């Protein structure tokens, strides 16, 4: 029993030693396993050949710098194409914050509505990016917002009060009948 144990131990150590020597001879130094790696190294360079960037062919507003009131509803749109017929993603940003992202349905057109709101002023940026996964085309608009105070809409709140009073009168009148 003792002799059999030593033979197995000797054979295991011999296999381990041969494996170690083979690894030193045939595995390049830069490819050896490191304790920090969770996977074997590989070449991560991917060469995409013959890909053409998507192209924005038209956009609205046509002026890239314009003024608007802070509470104004702004409308933007783009037309685009990709000669490779890749699936395109359209992303809309306001001041570098992603607001809307869609996958193009194939019509090569997308639109975006935005309202900065009252009590907002200054230069603001609206940008659209059309991306095929490899390359991007974009258009940026600089919007100079004019301040519109939220309190300047008192007429509309007064109108709501007048409507509520008329409804109450109609209800009261109906109750009297």
| Higher per-residue confidence, 82 vs 176 | 82
| pLDDT at residue 80 tops 70 | yes
pTM of this prediction exceeds 0.75 = no
Tokens in use for 87?
A: 């699936």
Q: pLDDT value at position 131?
A: 96
Alpha-carbon gap, residue 143 to 69, rounded angstroms: 10
Q: pLDDT value at position 177?
A: 53
CATH 2.60.40.10 fits 55-151, yes or no: yes
| pLDDT at residue 145 tops 50 | yes
| pLDDT at residue 157 tops 90 | no
Among the listed residues 175, 104, 95, 177, the one whose alpha carbon sits nearest the alpha carbon of residue 141: 95
Average pLDDT of the chain to the nearest whole number: 80
pLDDT digits (tens, 9 = 90+) for 7-33: 787 878 788 777 777 666 666 655 555
Q: Domain residue spans in the chain?
A: 2-31, 55-151
Alpha-carbon gap, residue 53 to 82, rounded angstroms: 7
């Amino acid at each position: 029993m003792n002799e059999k144990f030593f033979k197995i131990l000797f054979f295991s150590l011999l296999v381990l030693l041969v494996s170690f020597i083979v690894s030193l001879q045939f595995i390049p130094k830069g490819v050896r396993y490191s304790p920090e790696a969770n996977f074997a190294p590989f070449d991560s360079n991917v060469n995409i050949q013959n890909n053409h960037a998507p192209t924005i062919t038209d956009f609205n507003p046509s002026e890239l710098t314009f003024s608007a009131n802070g509470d104004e509803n702004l409308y933007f749109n783009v037309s685009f194409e990709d000669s490779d017929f890749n699936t395109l993603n359209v992303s809309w940003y306001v001041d570098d914050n992603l607001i809307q992202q869609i996958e193009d349905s194939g019509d090569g057109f997308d639109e975006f509505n935005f309202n900065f709101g009252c009590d907002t002023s200054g230069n603001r940026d609206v940008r659209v990016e059309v991306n095929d996964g490899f390359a991007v085309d974009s258009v940026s608009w600089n919007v100079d917002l004019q301040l519109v105070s939220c309190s300047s809409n008192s007429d509309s709140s007064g109108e709501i009060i007048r409507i509520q009073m008329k409804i109450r009168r109609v209800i009261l009148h109906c109750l009297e009948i």
